[in-house]
Structure 1
Amino acid sequence: MGRQMYSGRRSLAVATAVVIAGGLTAGCGGDGQESAGGNKASNGAVTLTWGMWASGTEDRNAWQKVADQVTQKYPNIKITLETSPFKDYFTKLGTRLAGGSAPCVVSMQSLRTGGYVSGMRPLDDLIKKNGLDTADFDTSIMAGLASGGKQYALPYDVGSLIITYNKDMFKAAGVPEPKVGWSVADFEAAAKKLTTGGKYGFVGYPSALGMFSMILAKTGNAEPMDESGKLTLTTEQMKTGFQWYADLTAKQGVSPKIPGVDNNFTETQFLNGNAAMSVNGPWSVLELKAKAKFGVGLATIPAGPDGTKSYTAGSGFGISQSCPYPDEAFKAVSTMTSAEVLGQLGSVGRAYPARKSVQNKWYENAFEGSKPVLDAANASAKPFRTTKNWDPVEKLLAQYGIQAFNGQTTAADALDQVQQQSPA
Structure 2
Amino acid sequence: MRLSLVLAAAALAGSSLIATVHAQEQVNLTWQMWGDENDTALFTSLADLVTAEYPNITVTPQFSGWTDYWTRLPVLASSGQIADLVAMQSMRMPSFYSILEPLNSYMEADGLDTAEFESSIIAGLGHDGTQYALPYDVGPWLVYYNRDKFAAAGLEEPALDWTFDDFKSAADALTEGGNYGYAVQAFDFIAGPVALGAEYFNDSNQFDITNAGYVDAVTKFSDLVSVDKASPVFASGTGAITGSGRFAAGSAAMYIDGPWVLLQTKDSVDFDIGVAPLPRGEGESRFITAGSGWGIAAASQHKEEAYKALKVLTGPKAAEILASAGRALPGRLAEQTYWYDVAAKDVAGTRETLQYMFEHSTPFRLNEYWNEFENLVTQYMPLALNGDSTTEEVLANIQSQLPM
TM exceeding 0.5: yes
Alignment of 1:358 onto 2:335: yes
Rg bigger for which structure?
Answer: 2
From 234, 250, 255, the counterpart of 2:226: 250
Alignment of 1:293 onto 2:293: no
Cα distance in 1, alignment partners of residues 169 and 45 from structure 2? 44
1:231 corresponding residue in structure 2: 207
Cα distance in 2, alignment partners of residues 397 and 268 from structure 1? 21
After superposition, residues 2-401 of structure 1 pair within 5 angstroms as 44-54=25-35, 57=38, 61-207=41-187, 210-218=188-196, 220=197, 222-261=198-237, 265-365=242-342, 366=344, 367-401=347-381
Shift of the 283–423 alpha-carbon distance from structure 1 to 2, 3 Å rule, reads: same
Shift of the 414–337 alpha-carbon distance from structure 1 to 2, 3 Å rule, reads: same
**Range with bigger deviation, 345-354 or 387-396:** 345-354
Q: Which amino acid aligns with 1:404?
A: A
Cα distance in 2, alignment partners of residues 66 and 286 from structure 1? 20
Runs of at least 5 residues in structure 1 that lack an aligned partner in the other structure: 1-42
CA shift, 1:280, in A, is 1.8
- Tell me if the contact between 2:186 and 2:234 (Cα under 8 Å) persists in the aligned partners: no
CA shift, 1:55, in A, is 7.6
Q: What TM-score do you get using the length of structure 1 for normalisation?
A: 0.81
- Tell me if the contact between 1:233 and 1:416 (Cα under 8 Å) persists in the aligned partners: yes
Using the aligned pairs only, state the percent identity.
Answer: 36
CA shift, 1:232, in A, is 1.6
- Tell me if the contact between 1:161 and 1:377 (Cα under 8 Å) persists in the aligned partners: no
2:15 corresponding residue in structure 1: none
Cα distance in 1, alignment partners of residues 205 and 315 from structure 2? 32
Q: Which amino acid aligns with 2:94?
A: G
Alpha-carbon deviations, 1:221-266, whole Å to 9, x = none?
x111234211121101111111221222222211122333469833
Shift of the 179–65 alpha-carbon distance from structure 1 to 2, 3 Å rule, reads: farther
- Tell me if the contact between 1:97 and 1:120 (Cα under 8 Å) persists in the aligned partners: no
CA shift, 1:44, in A, is 4.1
CA shift, 1:48, in A, is 2.6
- Tell me if the contact between 1:282 and 1:349 (Cα under 8 Å) persists in the aligned partners: no
Q: What TM-score do you get using the length of structure 2 for normalisation?
A: 0.84
- Tell me if the contact between 1:203 and 1:256 (Cα under 8 Å) persists in the aligned partners: yes
Q: Which amino acid aligns with 1:382?
A: T
Shift of the 169–93 alpha-carbon distance from structure 1 to 2, 3 Å rule, reads: farther
- Tell me if the contact between 1:200 and 1:274 (Cα under 8 Å) persists in the aligned partners: yes
Q: Which amino acid aligns with 1:120?
A: L
CA shift, 1:88, in A, is 4.0
Normalized per residue, the structure richer in helix is 2
CA shift, 1:132, in A, is 3.0
Shift of the 390–168 alpha-carbon distance from structure 1 to 2, 3 Å rule, reads: same
